[in-house]
């Protein structure tokens, strides 16, 4: 029996190729050419996530008793680094010269959680939504990594785009309790 060496083509279930920006005329993945776009347009995005630590890990973090060190500072730096490396992690993302990255981590005592907020901006030909999402995700993963010795039950949830501005699609702001619409 011969081994199958090709991956089944997912394009059979996709919309017509011409309506997808990252698919060529044959249905294969392709990077969008942003070379003709206005490179001076300011673009920004904010993404958030939440790390549910549980009581024991939250108390250890709050009392600075995590063996790996200063969790919030390390997670902040990890998020900033991640935003700058997004194009190396997400195949169809273009490398961008980011002008600003901010990652804030807020302790939520009532929930025994950490809320992560990442803001990214640039002047460039394409948006920074993925950079903001990547920053929030990696900051959250760093909190998990540094606290996992206290609890393996830590959960990362609610990774989402909160706001974006600039570009052809204009401004987006998440509405409270928004549910994705069917395409």
Sign of CA dihedral 50, 52, 56, 57: negative
Q: What is the DSSP letter of 126?
A: S
Q: What is the dihedral of CA 89, 91, 96, 98, to 10 degrees?
A: -30
Say whether 145 is catalytic: yes
Tokens in use for 31? 């990077």
Residue 76's nearest CA partner among 149, 129, 142, 130 is 142
Tokens in use for 69? 């060190």
Burial class, 136, CB count within 10 angstroms (exposed 0-12 / middle 13-18 / buried 19+)? buried
Residue 153's CB: how many other CB atoms inside 10 A? Answer: 11
Residue 139's nearest CA partner among 122, 156, 116 is 116
Among candidate residues 64, 70, 104, 145, the one labeled active-site is 145
- Which residues belong to the active site? 145
């Amino acid at each position: 029996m011969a081994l199958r060496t090709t991956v089944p083509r997912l394009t059979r279930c996709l919309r017509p190729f011409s309506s997808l920006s990252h698919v060529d005329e044959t249905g294969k993945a392709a990077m969008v050419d942003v070379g003709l776009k206005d490179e001076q347009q300011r673009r920004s995005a904010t993404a958030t996530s939440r790390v549910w630590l549980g009581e024991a890990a939250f108390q250890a973090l709050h009392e600075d008793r995590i063996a790996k060190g200063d969790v919030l500072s390390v997670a902040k730096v990890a998020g900033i680094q991640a935003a700058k490396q997004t194009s190396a992690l997400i195949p169809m993302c273009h490398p961008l010269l980011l002008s600003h990255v901010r990652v804030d981590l807020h302790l939520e005592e009532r929930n025994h959680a950490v809320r992560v907020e990442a803001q990214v901006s640039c002047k460039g030909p394409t948006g920074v939504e993925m950079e903001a999402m990547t920053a929030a995700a990696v900051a959250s993963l760093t909190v998990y990594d540094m606290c996992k010795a206290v609890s393996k039950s830590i959960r990362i949830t609610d990774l989402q785009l909160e706001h974006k501005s600039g570009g052809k699609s204009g401004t987006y702001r998440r509405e409270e309790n928004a549910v994705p619409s069917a395409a």
